[in-house]
């Protein structure tokens, strides 16, 4: 266990990059009850189980006992981590079920892909998890590439849910760079000894497989390489702040966008001693209240857009991961 409106926005967790490009399908508007009915219809009724936490209802047809219980506990742990780093007041107690995030953990990737195609065609074949902002519905599957990848998807999507449920105060959605950047920032963080070490990114991670224990290159290492490609491709701050990631057809460029967003968030938390405690929480809360991200960035940090752009390029170029490996627990 880790200790730690209409359908207008789709928040993605990237799959492994695919070669080639595809035409981006148009979004399909669904109502929340339609999504719930469709997801429920995909589950194997013989194994359907559900459990509740203070902020989530986890529904699964996993063949593994207590999967939904572990997921609910981890979800609540991520909420506590984010509540701490963003200085968000404790909501207190358990929410009414109608206000809780409904998380579907499908047994198979095929079930998940069917749901993705129905719910949001732009996500079909390109994601390992999704959260629907405004609807409070989260979905992913157990047939992920590795244990670290499944953990990453869970952390990533729970971060989206927290911003939507606990920080967003208006109908204006969080800008994609911050939503995806913070989700990657949490999702890529080191997990060891049952805890999320926020802002610590290791070069390697441990993976338990049928071949035994493997120490493999971390996702943070892959994303750092992608962020450096983004800088070589001259990704500007203006592009980072305005791009809609669902409009990026090329998977390599999409990975670069996520990676640059991650390290921009890292810069905004770690660039100066006061930033993690003062500036970054203030930035997220102000944007959550509906203020412009560009103006809020310059006001809260006291820096021009050009200064921020230069700082981001330097941060990505000089960034060093922590040598060692993450040891996630189930």
Q: Indicate the pLDDT class of residue 25, thresholds 50, 70 and 90.
A: very low
Comparison of pLDDT for 30 and 140, the residue scoring more: 140
- 97: CATH: 3.40.30.160
DSSP category for residue 259: H
Count Cβ neighbours within 10 Å for each residue of 50-70 and write b for 16 or more, e otherwise. ebebebbbbbbbbeeeebbeb
Output the pTM of the full model. 0.88
Q: Indicate the pLDDT class of residue 67, thresholds 50, 70 and 90.
A: very high
Select from 174, 189, 223 the last residue of a domain. 174
* Claim to verify: residue 162 and residue 14 sit in the same structural domain: yes
Distance CA 273, CA 64 (A): 44
Residue numbers of the domain that contains 229:
202-326
CA distances from 262 to 96, 151, 259, 277 (A): 33, 17, 5, 18
Reading the block at residue 70, the tokens are: 């572990």
DSSP state string for 171-223: SSPPPHHHHHHHHHHHHTSEEETTEEETT--EEEEEEEETTEEEEEE-HHHHH
* Claim to verify: residue 44 and residue 110 sit in the same structural domain: yes
Sequence-distant (6+) residues with CB within 8 A of 126 are: 12, 14, 15, 18, 251, 254
* Claim to verify: residue 153 and residue 63 sit in the same structural domain: yes
DSSP category for residue 265: H
Which of 43-47, 87-91, 222-226, 230-234 bottoms out in mean pLDDT, i.e. has the lowest?
Answer: 87-91
pLDDT digits (tens, 9 = 90+) for 172-228: 889 999 999 999 999 999 987 778 899 999 999 887 766 677 788 999 999 999 999
- Which residue, chain included where needed, has tokens 């909501």? 91
CB distance 183 to 196 below 8 Å: no
pLDDT at 2 over 60: no
Mean pLDDT of 29-44: 93
Q: Is residue 188 part of a domain?
A: no
* Claim to verify: residue 58 and residue 136 sit in the same structural domain: yes
* Claim to verify: residue 292 and residue 226 sit in the same structural domain: yes
Q: Is residue 192 part of a domain?
A: no
Q: Indicate the pLDDT class of residue 82, thresholds 50, 70 and 90.
A: very high
Mean pLDDT of 80-98: 89
Q: Phi and psi for 38 in degrees, rounded to 5?
A: -65, -45
What pLDDT score was predicted for residue 246? Answer: 84
User: How many domains, in total, are found in the chain?
Assistant: 2
């Amino acid at each position: 266990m880790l200790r730690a409106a209409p359908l207008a926005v789709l928040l993605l967790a990237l799959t492994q990059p695919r070669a080639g490009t595809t035409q981006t399908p148009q979004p399909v508007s669904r109502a929340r009850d339609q999504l719930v009915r469709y997801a429920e219809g995909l589950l194997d009724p013989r194994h359907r189980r559900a459990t509740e936490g203070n902020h989530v209802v986890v529904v699964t047809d996993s063949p593994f006992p207590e999967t939904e219980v572990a997921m609910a506990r981890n979800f609540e742990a991520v909420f506590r981590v984010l509540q701490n780093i963003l200085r968000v007041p404790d909501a207190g107690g358990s929410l009414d079920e109608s206000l809780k995030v409904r998380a579907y953990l499908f047994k198979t990737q095929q079930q998940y892909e069917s749901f993705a195609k129905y719910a949001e065609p732009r996500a079909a074949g390109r994601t390992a998890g999704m959260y629907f902002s405004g609807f409070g519905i989260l979905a992913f599957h157990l047939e992920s590439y590795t244990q670290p990848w499944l953990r990453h998807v869970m952390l990533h999507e729970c971060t989206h849910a927290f911003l939507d449920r606990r920080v967003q105060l208006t109908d204006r959605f969080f800008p994609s760079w911050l939503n995806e950047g913070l989700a990657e920032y949490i999702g890529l963080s080191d997990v060891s000894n049952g805890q999320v070490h926020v802002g610590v990114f290791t070069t390697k991670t441990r993976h338990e497989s049928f071949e035994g224990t493997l120490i493999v290159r971390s996702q943070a290492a892959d994303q750092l390489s992608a962020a450096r490609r983004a800088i070589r491709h001259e990704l500007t701050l203006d592009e980072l702040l305005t791009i809609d990631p669902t409009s990026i057809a090329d998977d390599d460029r999409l990975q670069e966008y996520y990676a640059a967003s991650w390290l921009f968030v890292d810069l905004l938390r770690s660039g100066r001693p006061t930033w993690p405690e003062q500036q970054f929480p203030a930035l997220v809360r102000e944007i959550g209240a509906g203020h412009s991200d560009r103006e809020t960035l310059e006001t809260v940090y006291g820096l021009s857009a050009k200064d921020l752009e230069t700082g981001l390029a330097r941060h990505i170029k000089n960034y060093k991961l922590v040598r060692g490996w993450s040891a996630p627990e189930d």
